[in-house]
Structures are given as C-alpha cells and as structure tokens.
Amino acid sequence: MAANPDRQDLESFWLPFTSNRAFKKNPRMVSRASGMHYWTPEGKQILDGVAGLWCCNAGHNHPKIQEAIKAQADEMDFAPHFNFAHPGAFEVANRLCEDTPEGINHVFFTNSGSESVDTALKIALAYHRERGDAARTKLIGREKGYHGVGFGGISVGGIPLNRRQYSASLLPGVDHLPHTHDLSRNAFSRGLPEHGAELADELEAIAQLHHPSTIAAVIIEPIAGSAGVLIPPVGYLKRIREICDRHGILLIFDEVITAFGRLGSPYASQAFDVTPDIITTAKGLTSGTVPMGAVFVKDSIYNAFMEGPGQAIELFHGYTYSAHPLAVAACRASQEVYREEGLYQRAAEMAPVFEDALHSLKDEPYVIDVRNYGLMGAVELQPIDGKPGARGLDAMIRAFESGAMVRVTGDILAFSPPLIIEPSHIEELVECVRKVLCSL
C-alpha cells in the first residue's frame, strides 16, 4: 500500500473500536516496529507509550521471540488439541505455572482476552455444577469493567457503550458492583488511592439481595485498564476476597492487561497480595506477537472436574487454535525474555521514575487527575461541554502527529509502555504530552 493511500484503498477493512469514517479521512498508519518505537510508512519514528495495545511488554520485534516463531513455523504449522497434543503445549504450561500464585497450577489455553474471560465464566459455572451446587448461576461484574467482547464478557462488563447495541441479548442473572473511581476524594493519587475500600461491601449487599447460594463468581480487573487505569483503593481487593470466601463465591481476576510484569510482578494478584481462584490472561503472554490467551485455575477447581469416569470429557469447551504451535513458541520465548532480561524487576525499578514524570503534568491545561501504579498510568482531562471524549481524542491525534502513541478512552489518556522503557523514553513521552496539552 502507498504511503498516502486513497480513501478507496481503506474501505474494505472495518476497524474495531474506531470511528471508521473519521479514521479513513485522516489515517494514522504504522508499518514497522523495533524496541520502543513504531515507524510510519513515511519513515517517521513514533515512541510507543502503550506497548501496542497493553501487550508488547518485551518491546517490539525482540530477536529471540521472532526467531522462536520462525523456527516453529519451519517445524510444524498446526497441531490439534482435541484428543491429540504437541509437547510444547505441556512444556509452556509447566513454565507458566512456575510464576503463578501458590495453589494455581493448571492452565487452559485460549486465543485472546475475550476468549479467556468467557472460558473463565464457563469454568466457574461448571465447577459449581460438578460439586452438586448447580444453583450457583449468577455472575457479578463491576461498573466500568472491561472483560472483552464475547457475550459473557460484555454481560459482566460495565462500560455502557460496549453493552448498548446488544443489551437485549446479554446474559441473564448478572449484577454489577459500583466502580471505585472517585475524583472528589482521590484525584492525583500516587499508587493506591486512600479512599474507597468500603465500596467492596456492596458485594455483601448484592449477595444478600440475590442470596449468596446463587452466586457463582465475581470477576474484576485488579486495575481497570480500558476504562482509564482505575486503581483499587487501599484494602479494596482484600475485602472483596474476604466476602467471596465467606460465601463460597469464586473470585476471578481479569489480568489480561496486568499480568506479565505490568505492575512489577508476574501477576497483579502478587503485587496486591490477593490470590483469586481464576486468573484470565492474554496480551503480554506472547508479548503481543501471536494471539494467545490463558486461564489459570486453582488446583481445587481443576481437581473437581477430574472425579468422574476416567474416559469422560471433563469440560465441554475449547478452541481449534488452543495452544497453537506458533503461539506456544512465542509464549515460551517471551517468558524466557522476561526472566533472562529481568523485565519484571525493571518495571518495578522504572515505576517511580514513571510516576514522578507523569505527575509533573498535574498543573498543565485541562488536567483534572493523574494516577499511576507500576507501569500503568492515566491523565484525565476536563471534558468539553457537550462533547465528551472530543478533547481526549484530539490530544491522542496530536500526540501521534508529534511522535508518540498514547491510548485514549473518553477524555482519559492512558499509558502502558513496554517494560524495556528507559528514563529518557519516559521524559520524551511526558514532554510530548505536555506540549500537546498546552496546544489544546
């Protein structure tokens, strides 16, 4: 495709979560990537402030990961996992479970975060049925939560625009916790906000409303990424865990964004010292190179399915491309890179530098909040009256034109750079955003 394609050249592709008409009038294209950067077809360098889409944790085109994918493509293109398997899938499963929280030693492979969420919800419902507790059918999500685009994920998700077009056909038996975003008390928090742990008590109220014996699982993001990096208040997640334990409710952490080093540890559950029953992952699993997801479950959940007849299928669920050989190769190499290059520790070391730089934007025009945890952060802007989201979109476009890629959700600029980021990259990214804010 030409560097400046005609509008007609862009018509066939229906872009996801994008205003197609607006984009195709002013497309923002990238055609090459390496390390911390993209390049446009015209050759302009773009600093990646969002790890592609929360996923390229090892940076772009890491040689070891690329070589592993190429080698696997030469050896075997596909292997089925319905009654057959390839050794690499077992090897990478064992490797992944070396880093999971204690007691979580089994993994079911999917192809995306959306599939991981729907898989986790099905496992939760099936688990209770296997234990003779089939009355547990209700699922609890949270306002502003994002859990992918499957019908299960949309149903437990809490972003209104993601639900509106399909609201008539979402899953029944779903309720939602209130969100924890409170600018009046927590604006400009560094790390965990001080106020809001009491919001977890709404789970007790919901449980009593429906009766605890009917609730199968609660699913939440430890940090709500797609809604704009909403960070849990001090003590909030532990209180959610306590209420789930009290009533025999499974707790699912959606770690599609937070897993694999984003917070300076393999999983957010370790960073927050709260162990869920199920963890959903994707994105950083392969550093964004090949689509892959994974659902990790506690031993007690896996074992509950293993008590029937020895020849019986334990879980009627799966995907053609579960543990695809190319994805497995990418996953194994990505995990080796994270370990060999100490990227989780690097993220922890860079987090204070990132925090200070991001909070230096506090007094810039239109900024009403700055928040951060690990290598995740957000700058929230004052909306334009009657045009919600317009200022944020304008800022994102101007940042790209100025040489930096940032994520926008409404009027929130979100940041999640690759874990290989250097202090000089952080300074460049924040100074670009500063200039953009001053130009709005």
The secondary structure of 160-214 as a DSSP string is HHHHHTTGGGSPSSEEEEPP---HHHHTT-SSS-SS-GGGGGHHHHHHHHH-GGG
Return the pLDDT at 6.
Answer: 83
Q: Same domain, yes or no, for 181 and 303?
A: yes
The per-residue pLDDT for range 225-244, each reduced to its tens digit, is 999 999 999 999 999 999 99
**Mean pLDDT over each residue of the chain, to the nearest integer:** 97
Return the pLDDT at 257.
Answer: 98
Band of pLDDT at residue 327, cut at 50, 70 and 90? very high
Q: Provide CB contacts within 8 A for 334, sequence distance 6+.
A: 57, 58, 62, 65, 260, 284, 285, 286, 287, 289
Q: Same domain, yes or no, for 272 and 402?
A: no
Contact 273, 236 (CB under 8 A): no
Return the pLDDT at 160.
Answer: 95
Return the pLDDT at 310.
Answer: 82
- Does any domain span residue 16? no
Band of pLDDT at residue 7, cut at 50, 70 and 90? confident
Q: Which residues pair with 106 in a beta bridge?
A: 297
Q: Same domain, yes or no, for 335 and 417?
A: no
* Segment 338-345 mean pLDDT: 98
Q: Same domain, yes or no, for 300 and 400?
A: no
Rounded to 5 degrees, what are φ and ψ at 322?
-55, 130
Question: Of 304, 322, 340, which residue constitutes the final position of a domain?
Answer: 340
Question: Of 292, 313, 340, which residue constitutes the final position of a domain?
Answer: 340
Q: Same domain, yes or no, for 210 and 275?
A: yes
* Segment 89-117 mean pLDDT: 98
Q: Same domain, yes or no, for 234 and 120?
A: yes
Tokens 């004052």 found at: 382
Return the pLDDT at 215.
Answer: 98
Report the length, in residues, of the chain: 440
Q: Provide CB contacts within 8 A for 43, sequence distance 6+.
A: none
* Segment 373-384 mean pLDDT: 98
* CA separation for the pair 157, 161 (Å, rounded): 10
145 has a pLDDT exceeding 80: yes
- Does any domain span residue 9? no
Q: Same domain, yes or no, for 211 and 310?
A: yes
Question: What is the extent of the structural domain holding 86?
Answer: 66-340
Percent of the chain at pLDDT > 70 equals 99
Return the pLDDT at 372.
Answer: 98
Return the pLDDT at 2.
Answer: 65
* Segment 192-213 mean pLDDT: 98
How many domains does the chain contain in total?
Answer: 2
Q: Which residues pair with 32 in a beta bridge?
A: 39
- Does any domain span residue 303? yes
Q: Same domain, yes or no, for 237 and 115?
A: yes
- Does any domain span residue 201? yes
Q: How many CB atoms lie within 10 A of CB 403?
A: 15
Q: Same domain, yes or no, for 266 and 386?
A: no
273: left (phi over 0), alpha (psi -120 to 50) or beta: left
* CA separation for the pair 220, 237 (Å, rounded): 9
- Does any domain span residue 352? yes
4 has a pLDDT exceeding 80: no
Q: Same domain, yes or no, for 172 and 292?
A: yes
Question: Of 309, 340, 371, which residue constitutes the final position of a domain?
Answer: 340
159 has a pLDDT exceeding 80: yes
| Residue ranges of E strands in 299-353 | none
* Segment 44-60 mean pLDDT: 98
Q: Same domain, yes or no, for 48 and 158?
A: no
Return the pLDDT at 284.
Answer: 98
- Does any domain span residue 18? no
Q: Which amino acid is at 119?
A: T
Q: What is the CATH number of the domain that holds 336?
A: 3.40.640.10
Q: Provide CB contacts within 8 A for 265, sequence distance 6+.
A: 271, 344, 348
* Segment 259-274 mean pLDDT: 98
Cα–Cα nearest to 69, from 283, 318, 287: 287
Q: Same domain, yes or no, for 159 and 243?
A: yes
Which two tokens mark 325? 């050989």
Band of pLDDT at residue 125, cut at 50, 70 and 90? very high
- Does any domain span residue 299? yes
Q: What is the CATH number of the domain that holds 418?
A: 3.90.1150.10
- Does any domain span residue 8? no
